[in-house]
Structure 1
Amino acid sequence: MIYELISSMTILGRSKCIRCALVITILSIIIATGQSLELLGMMRPLPSVLGVLSLGGMALLWRDLSSKVKGENRTLSSLLSQYFAVKVVGWLGKRQRGKLEADTLNIRQVQEETLLKRLRKNADTCYGKQYDFSSIKDCEAFRTRHPVTTYEHYRELVTRVAAGEEKVLIAEKPLILAMTSGTSGASAMLLSTKDTNTEFFLQGVAVCLDAMRRAFPASDSLQRTTKLFYSPTFRQSEAGIPIGPNSSTPASSRHMLNLYTTPAPAFQVPSERDTLYLHLLFALKDPSVGTLESNFASTVFYAFSALQERWQELVEDIKLGRVSPALTLEPGVRASLEGQMKPDPERATQLRTHFQQGFVGIVRRLWPQLNLVLAVDSGSNQIYGEMLRERYCQGIPFYSPFYAATEGLIGVNLWPEEERRRYLLCPRSMFCEFLPEASLDQETPEKHTLLMEEVQEGHSYELVVTNASGLFRYRMGDIVKVVGFHNQCPVVEFQYRRGQMLSVRGEKVSEVMFLGALKRAISQWPGAQLVDYCCAESAIMGESCGGSDPHYQVFVELKGVRNLTEEQRYKLDQCVQEDSAVYKSFRFKGSIGPMRVQMVAEGAFKELRKQMMAFSNTSPNTFKMHRVLRRKEYADFLLGKTI
């Protein structure tokens, strides 16, 4: 039907329609990503896009357009909007990738330019005057004058910004007061600015989309994406500044929704459970989905867990052309969503057959044209990525595009096809310093920081950043390992968060070390498959810890086994001893007792996740499971779920 409409249009009509769609698309990209209209200046030299607007290029346009269309009927405006969005962002990605490559050839100069730009912009603030930013001419003077900081250094200053005081830390008013996820402690409130968003879009999103298209050319087709996103809840500061997670809703631009299977009204639904149902419902309706996207692999994993529980209800809705009456929806939202549903018994029959065949490899059967899963699956999300690839998403490529945090963009993955998740640091996003792992606990860490060109391959460091939103020489708590260089720029792997370190006697067992030992132990438990895990140090548990000697309490949720023998449980202790000589020494001396391995009931971690999000007001989009529990009530909750 869409091709008949195109062939019946006059050349003049086509030309006007395309020009209008292009303008709308460019504006919608800028608005949706929170960019300023200054970006329009970057769009002037668009020869690869604007060239198709001439009458002589029309035939090529329609040939290109028709070759990319897949799946269910789409409106002409929807296709054109997505087509030009792909073209514009593709051009922008190549441009930004070229800039990044050039920057990696002269890291010292680029980093100093980035730092001085930050200092000049904020020189007239209270903070800038305190440290005399206007007189700083190079990075050495900055490092001499300004101390290495933690969040306590900024707490009172951020409170003043929230109350409405201007020019405290940064020159402009922040867009939002962004709450961190609180994985390794209490949530912190940070400033988020237009510059932070611009950097993330240009240096992160655009570059990673370019890398994705190079690695997965099929992703350039006009297929829709299923984006698993939950609209965050914001509150207001005294000065009316929004407080909440640093994430924007896809529905902020109706034109960008042409890219997604989920209709705009679904993003207004406050319940995570109901929103997830709607994401699944509209994704299942479309057999031509091209990408599954979410911030983290954990969100994708929880989505398929829900699909396994509710597939019969979803199939019935598709068969009848309705939205389940069990969902709590406002009448207007329900009416709008049901207006996009039509009975489709044929698709329902297909889906029922796929589900009845089991859930191993289900993704490829549901969406045979799926190109990839786009989600971060490194760090604490590693186990969810592994479970997805082993079970639901067999044979589907995964791309973990960013290394980012509430503080801003840190690195990009230029190697999508590699199993190893490594990230090139973005030299114009943050001014980076590096604390060697061996000096982390020293009293004067600022004496030990290194610059990008001074780090060594194979060594691990804590990141110290100066960003675009009021953090200066800020210890992030992230430990990264330098695994190589791209030209002069370090390439890193995330290792662990300092606050997620196990240490009852100063032995310091990191998340990456413990997970390696756990996976090795589980491989020796016949039939066992890891679903989730976390640990607690005995000191936080009081009388419920089950022993007087300091030790680790380990909580594991497993599939394939009903119980563990004492010998199997002790195997984990042995594996940790093999990986940590210090832990082994303390165990030999008896100053650390044997770890207690507790197997918890199915769904225990899903319930724990809800409790953690309720306590911290963390959005499902930004939640990361705590691998080391620092609150007694969380450990007691899991103790109550032990088998």
Structure 2
Amino acid sequence: MRMKGWITCPMGLKGLIHGVNLFLKTMMLPTFDPRDTEAGSRILEDITSNAGHIQEQVLEEILTKNASTDYLKGFLNGHSDKGLFKNKVPVVDYEDIKIYIDRIALDGEPSRILTNESITELLKSSGTSGGKQKWIPKTAEEGERRAFFSCLCDTVLNSFELRSFQGLNDGKALLFVLINPDIHTPGGLVLRTGSESEIKNRKDRYPQFILCEDSNQSLYSQLLCGLVQRDAIVNVGTFFASGLLRIIKFFEEHWQEMSSNIRTGQMSAWITDPNCKRAVSLILSKQMPDLADSIDLICQEKSWEGIIKKIWPRTKYVMAIITGSMAQYIPALEFYTGGLPVVSPVYGSSEAFFGINMKPLCSPYDVSYTFIPNMAYYEFLPIDNHQDPTCTNRKDAHLKDHIVDLANVKIGQHYELLVTTFTGLYRYRMGDIVLVTGFHNSTPQFKFGQRTNVVLSIHTDKTTEQDLQKAVAMAIQILEPLGFFLLDYSSYADTSSIPGHYVLFWELQLRSNDDIPELDQVKMEKCCSLVEQSLDQKYKLLRNQSISTIGPLEIRVVKQGTFNVLMDFYVSQGTSLNQYKTPKNIKSEKAIEILDSRVVGKFYSREVPNQDS
């Protein structure tokens, strides 16, 4: 899944909406206090009941504003007709528009190349799910649009919280956020992630330590403040499930030092950032030996199962994106949270925000998102439910003949998502496959399926991220009775020998805090075989040929902490910690070297997969 995080709605919005223009004739978004769930719920019901009409209005406004841009003039000759747009404007991916973005970002050319709104900054994608970082234009109006979306998200969260839990109103949320220093392009635009953009444009709304650009100092300070106020914390979260596991590991490495700080009332000397020192000094103002003793008692237990619930005993739920590639972390989160509900609130990206989870307390495996129809104009390219989405011809001139709009999608159908935005993206392929699961009023709901461009391939085989995730989930069941769960994994296609073969890197975790014992050779080889047996028929055919074109699958077990080291590498290359997602298909030779340097065991499939299953 893509970005995917949340941004709190600006507080202090006073006016409730009465008779607002929900069809966005001038893109004046309705304002409301997200704490007023009745007002927010009315807006949600109105816009989801009129999705088709709102979508037409959104497209009309985008074209009216931007028909004179260099990009659209080449197809529409200055006209803003919606039918002409659907007939003439091609379906594109990032590489098709990169030349226009580069002219603005690198050469300093005016925004009107793509949009008649002034581009104020560029949002950078993580680059870890699709392999390449993208720069997406953002305007001031887009910031307001995203703030409105976040208010709607808060409305949903507030409504379910008030119905389901007692004590939330007098508690605090511990939501971990980290930022990096700004980068400026040669053309003079600032380059940030979506979360960094929100934080830096609304600095007055955040604790000072969140403004610290040293991630270790910032995370340490946030955790320390969370420990001092442990009895006030009622929910814990961050953007992605993988990030929350990273925070738990960081806590595991530093809890003794934090406990010492609490015992003495003094912060560690290595915390030098003035924002961190000033913010923590307001909370850590005296010696608290009893609190330190209680933290020690919990953290010294042999197993850290349920550690979040034990450290923050009033916690009602955990918040993190848990869909798409993040689903692999559900078992680990269930272990560390003690079975607390995991709320996966929104689906969005650097390009646009899309959907809100209207049933936040549903099972992490059942999360669907409802499209919010005034965020952008959405179109959908049907994918045959038995078709490999990676096989779709990305440059087929007739693709647009098959596109359907938001109001005409069908339940049970897979689609590739296309988006047209106010900020200069037109019929842009997100690279995301979604499954329509139902409707909320007239607005479709969907599950995120997979990315189209993340595959393993040796010959003519194409294994998608979703295929691999399902296969790994099947195989790890062999080790679960021994007390193991899979903390993280990645893969690459090793073609250095003939035949080439799939390599999986696994980081295993015991439910106790014991060191990983020597792994059973037979069971690990069985894991390799079960992964292969769970892959598609094409893969198994190529493995079964008399002159095999794919060699036996290999699992390389790595030391504990390896995927933290991998994350540090990607962060050093410019990826934001907030948006980091472990790449499931490693393309960087340096990243493969990092993983290989920490391998503690190699295992191969000893069986040829059965083609009949």
TM range (shorter): 0.7 to 0.9
Are residues 1:211 and 2:156 paired?
Answer: yes
Range moving further from structure 2, 160-169 or 411-420: 160-169
The equivalent of 2:434 in structure 1 is 480
Which residue is equivalent to 2:607?
Answer: none
C-alpha distance in 2 between matches for 1:483 and 1:455 = 10
- C-alpha change, 1:120 and 1:96, in structure 2 (3 Å) is farther
Aligned residues of 2:503 and 2:555 also touching (Cα < 8 A) = yes
The equivalent residue for 1:593 is 551
- d(CA) in 2 for partners of 1:473, 1:149: 6
Q: Deviations over 1:331-352 (max 9, x none)?
A: 6753563354222222222222
- Kept in 2: contact 1:484–1:492 (CA 8 A): yes
Counterparts of 1:191-270 in structure 2 under 5 Å? Answer: 191-203=137-149, 205-217=150-162, 218=165, 220-247=168-195, 248=197, 250=199, 253=202, 256-257=205-206, 263-264=207-208, 266-270=209-213
One-letter code of the match for 1:359? Answer: W
Amino acid at match of 1:198: E
SS at match of 2:174: strand
- Provide the TM-score with structure 1 as the length reference: 0.80
C-alpha distance in structure 2 between counterparts of 1:626 and 1:324, whole Å: 34
The equivalent of 2:537 in structure 1 is 581
Task: Name the structure 1 match of 2:470.
Answer: 516
In the alignment, structure 1 residue 635 sits paired with structure 2 residue 592: yes
Per-residue deviation, residues 603-623 of structure 1 (Å, max 9, x unmatched)? 1111011112222x1110111
Query: Which structure 2 residue ranges, 5 or more long, are not aligned?
Result: 1-6, 20-31, 511-516, 601-613
- Aligned residue number for residue 404 of structure 1: 348
3-state DSSP of counterpart to 2:505? strand
- Which residue, out of 89, 104, 109, partners 1:146? 89
C-alpha spacing 1:336/1:210, structure 2 compared with 1 (3 Å): closer
- Mapped to 1, the partners of 2:581 and 2:234 lie a distance apart of 26
Task: State whether structure 2 residue 499 is matched by structure 1 residue 556.
Answer: no
Higher mean C-alpha deviation, range 220-229 or range 180-189: 220-229
- Provide the rounded CA distance (Å) in 1 between the counterparts of 2:260 and 2:452: 48
> 1:567, CA displacement in angstroms?
5.4
Code of the aligned partner of 1:449: I
**Range with bigger deviation, 524-533 or 602-611:** 524-533
Q: CA 1:385/1:193 → structure 2, altered by over 3 Å: closer, same or farther?
A: farther
Q: Which amino acid aligns with 2:433?
A: I
Aligned CA distance change for structure 1 residues 274 and 510 (closer, same or farther; 3 Å): same
More helix by proportion, 1 or 2? 1
Q: Counterpart of 1:270 in structure 2: which amino acid?
A: E
Q: Could you give the per-residue CA deviations for residues 591-614 of structure 1, whole angstroms, max 9, x where no partner exists?
A: 222211111111111101111222
Does the 8 A contact of 2:455 with 2:464 survive in 1? yes
Q: Does 1:273 align with 2:221?
A: no
Correspondence for 2:369 among 393, 418, 423: 423
Q: Is the CA contact (8 Å cut-off) linking 2:8 and 2:151 kept in structure 1?
A: no
CA contact under 8 A between 1:458 and 1:483: conserved in structure 2? yes
1:518 Cα deviation after fit: 0.9
Counterpart residue type for residue 566 of structure 2: L
* 1:432–1:451 Cα contact (<8 Å) kept: yes
8 Å contact 1:94–1:207 — kept in the other structure? no
Mapped partners of 1:294, 1:336: distance in 2? 20
Q: Which residue of 2 aligns with 1:447?
A: 401
Partner of 2:572: 614
Count of aligned pairs between the two proteins: 553
CA–CA distance in structure 1, aligned partners of residues 522 and 499 of structure 2: 18
Name the counterpart of 1:66.
none
CA–CA distance in 2 between the matches of 1:238 and 1:303? 35
Instruction: For 1:188 and 1:255, locate their aligned partners in 2 and report how far apart those are by CA, in whole Å.
Output: 29
Q: Of the two structures, which has the highest relative contact order with CA contacts closer than 8 Å and spacing of 6 or more?
A: 2
User: Residues 534 and 296 of structure 1: is their aligned pair in 2 closer, same or farther, counting only changes over 3 Å?
Assistant: same
Post-superposition Cα deviations, 1:495-528, rounded to whole Å, max 9, x if no partner, equal: 1112212222333222222112111111112423
Note the C-alpha offset of 1:44.
6.7
Aligned to 2:241: 297
Partner Cα distance (2:503, 2:63) in 1: 46
Within 5 Å, which residues of 2 pair with 1:309-324? Answer: 309-324=253-268
Q: Is the 8 A contact 1:504 1:550 kept in 2?
A: yes
Q: Which amino acid in 1 is paired with 2:471?
A: A
> Displacement, 1:415?
0.8
Q: CA deviation at 1:215?
A: 2.2
Alignment match, 1:433:
379
How far is 1:182 from its partner? 0.8
Contact 1:296 1:375 in 2 (8 A): yes
Amino acid at match of 1:633: K
Normalised TM-score (structure 2): 0.84
Which residue in the other structure is 1:605 paired with?
Answer: 563
Letter paired with 1:582 = K
2:26 maps to which residue? Answer: none
Shift of 1:98: 2.7
Gapped runs of 5+ residues in structure 1? 1-30, 47-86, 258-262
Q: Distance in 1 between matches of 2:446 and 2:518?
A: 39
For 1:488 and 1:45, the matched residues in 2 are separated by 22
* Alignment partner of 1:506 is 2:460: yes
SS at match of 1:553: strand
Single out whichever of 104-113 and 304-313 deviates more from structure 2: 104-113
Task: Return the alpha-carbon distance in structure 2 between the equivalents of residues 213 and 555 of structure 1.
Answer: 40
Partner of 1:628: helix, strand, or coil? coil
Q: Distance in 2 between matches of 1:513 and 1:174?
A: 39
- Say if 1:601 and 1:641, in contact at 8 Å, map to a contact too: yes
Q: Distance in 2 between matches of 1:180 and 1:255?
A: 25
Structure 2 match to 1:345 = 289
Deviation string 1:394-421 (CA, Å, 9 cap, x unpaired) is 1322110011111010111101111112
CA contact (8 A) 2:217 2:276 kept: no
Distance 1:335 1:118, change over 3 A: closer
Higher fraction of strand: 2
Indicate conservation of the 8 Å contact 1:147/1:446, yes or no: yes
- Sequence identity percentage: 26
Q: What is the DSSP-based 3-state SS (H/G/I as helix, E as strand, rest coil) of the residue aligned with 1:515?
A: helix
Shift of 1:389: 1.5
- Give the match's secondary structure for 1:594: coil
CA contact (8 A) 1:514 1:576 kept: no
Within 1, Cα distance between the matches of 2:563 and 2:145?
35
How well do the aligned residues superpose, as a CA RMSD in angstroms? 2.7
Q: Is the 8 A contact 2:463 2:535 kept in 1?
A: no
Paired residues of 1:231 and 1:249 also in contact (CA < 8 A):
no
Distance 1:273 1:566, change over 3 A: same
Deviation readout 1:97-132 (Å, 9 max, x if unpaired): 433333333433222111111111222322233333
Query: Per-residue deviation at 1:96?
Result: 4.2
Partner of 1:111: 55
What's the counterpart of residue 178 of structure 1?
123
Residue 625 (structure 1) shift? 0.9
User: For 2:444 and 2:8, how far apart are their aligned partners in 1?
Assistant: 31
